Amino acid sequence: MKQTTLHRTETNVSRILAKSGSISFMMNVAGVGLAVLMQVVLARLLGVVSYGYYAFVMTVITFVAFPANLGFDTAIVRFVSSYKADQLWGEVKGLLRRANQLTLLVSLVLMGISGVVIYVMYRNSGGEFYYTFLTSLLIIPLMATATLRQSSLLALKEVLVAQLPEKVLRPVFCIVILYAYTVLFHVKAGAFEAMVIFVGSMLLSYLFGAWVLNRKLTPHTKGHPHRFQTKHWLSESTSLMVNSGMYLILGQLSVVMIGMMHGTSESGIFSAAVRIATMVSFAITSINMIAAPMISESYAKGDMKQMQKVCTLSGRSGFAFAGLVFLTILLLGQWILGLFGEEFKAGTTALILLSLSHLVHSYCGQSGTVMTMTGQQRASSRILMISTVLNVAFNLLLIPSLGMIGAALANLLSTAFCYFSMMFKVKRSMQIVTGVWMPGRTGSKS
């Protein structure tokens, strides 16, 4: 009887991961394809100089925007999954309202501070770069609140509509409007025009996403009063925000440092390589959107066998696709970069090294997600802090002499340290094996 129940549980986990994971995977395939297409269109229409301005500003504004939601994007996945299991819809309403209120407040503060800094630093230079930077400030509240909406839908296991606005609609809007502006009206677009169009695309996709969330959430929450645990939520979310910030540094800091040390043109080329390399780990990222709430629910129920099953199935599936994409980049990386423009082929070696970083990430599976969803964010913070320091140190050491290749090496070394450390930490503390294949694995027999 026990074996029958266990088999039924494993089958159910496999079915959920296969169905929802497939939806998420296909959505991310479309999203990555459209994101790369959008960057190709931008690079070709803007040219390497204006595209360098655009890519540099977008990277900087991403860093500025990340504290705006105070880590509530990750906290929502964790808490709403748990509240949903216990039918605590009043807490769900309270969490989402408080998260949006605080996020909007912090966004306005960040916009004000950033605006003053940009004015002081670049007001005398004027021109394309200055006005592109100022316009990009509008991204902060849109990006921050959009991530809260996406997290809410993911926690409700509405995978398709959670990702549709940002993965599909936003790049489609941007490509169509940009082409209409430049091709149909025969106008030369620069970084400023591209940023205005991107902000408009973000607004359109945000409005659609907000409408979807309201329709999905209202049937569950209607009639329930808001219940607030603001102090508890803030305590947990701010810890998660620190982790998210360090993940961001590991992934994007090199683009900014290259721009500061070697100029925005090389930064733009490296940025294109960074975006292509993310295709290696997009499968594990896609599956993670399904696995994260399942891991949270399993931990809340004390069902470690189900958690192991989720980690085993999601990890192996994600790594299999990562291996195929990595081989494709090895063979066709230079050609893919050439789609952006002939100058971008200079980033081929950096692209291969960055892709290897994402392959390492995929090999280590759901290690970071397990730590986040089981309340071990402080332990993961320590690992991320060391990894971030290593990343900065390696960048400072290698970029001056090696440029893009040095930045990619810095990313590979710090990423490998980060994810292998998390993988072994989860194994020691919880007896959960997240690595795809490693000695002493017990997950496949659970």
* Tens digits of residue pLDDT in 265-302: 788 888 888 888 988 887 777 777 777 777 877 787 78
Kindly compute the dihedral angle of the four CA atoms of residues 59, 64, 70, 71, in this order, to the nearest 10 degrees.
Answer: 10
Q: What is the pLDDT of residue 7?
A: 47
pLDDT at 4: 46
Mean pLDDT value across residues 121-138: 85
Q: Taking a C-beta distance cutoff of 8 angstroms, is the pair 272, 292 a contact?
A: no
Supply the pLDDT for residue 172: 92
pLDDT digits (tens, 9 = 90+) for 339-387: 888 888 888 999 999 999 999 988 988 888 888 777 777 788 888 889 9
Contact at 8 Å (CB) between 75 and 236?
A: yes
pLDDT at 83 over 80: yes
Cα 385 to Cα 403: distance, rounded to the nearest angstrom: 24
- Give the Cβ contact number of residue 168 at 10 Å: 18
Which pairs count as long-range contacts for 219-223, CB under 8 Å and 24+ apart, including other chains? Answer: 220/89, 220/92, 221/89, 221/90, 221/92, 221/93
- 391 sits in which H/E element: helix 377-402
Closest Cα partner for 202 from 177, 184, 181? 177
The candidate with the shortest Cα–Cα distance to 341, out of 34, 37, 43, is: 43
Name the pLDDT band for 17 (thresholds 50, 70, 90): low
Domain boundaries, the chain: 2-436
Task: Tell me the pTM.
Answer: 0.66
Distance CA 342, CA 287 (A): 34
Q: Residue 5: which pLDDT band, with cuts at 50, 70 and 90? A: very low
DSSP code for 190: -
Task: From residue 269, give the alpha-carbon distance in Å to each of 11, 64, 264.
Answer: 45, 22, 9
Overall average pLDDT of the 14-27 stretch: 60
- Cα separation, 349 vs 408, in Å, equals 9
pLDDT tens string 142-164? 999 999 998 888 888 787 788 88
Q: Is the model's pLDDT at 23 over the cut of 80?
A: no
Give the C-alpha separation, 298 to 314, whole Å.
Answer: 15
Give the integer Cα–Cα distance in Å for 442 and 444: 6
Predicted confidence (pLDDT) per residue in 41-78, tens digit: 888 888 888 888 888 888 889 888 888 888 888 888 87
d(C-alpha 406, C-alpha 136), whole Å: 29
Query: How many whole angstroms separate alpha carbon 42 and alpha carbon 175?
Result: 8
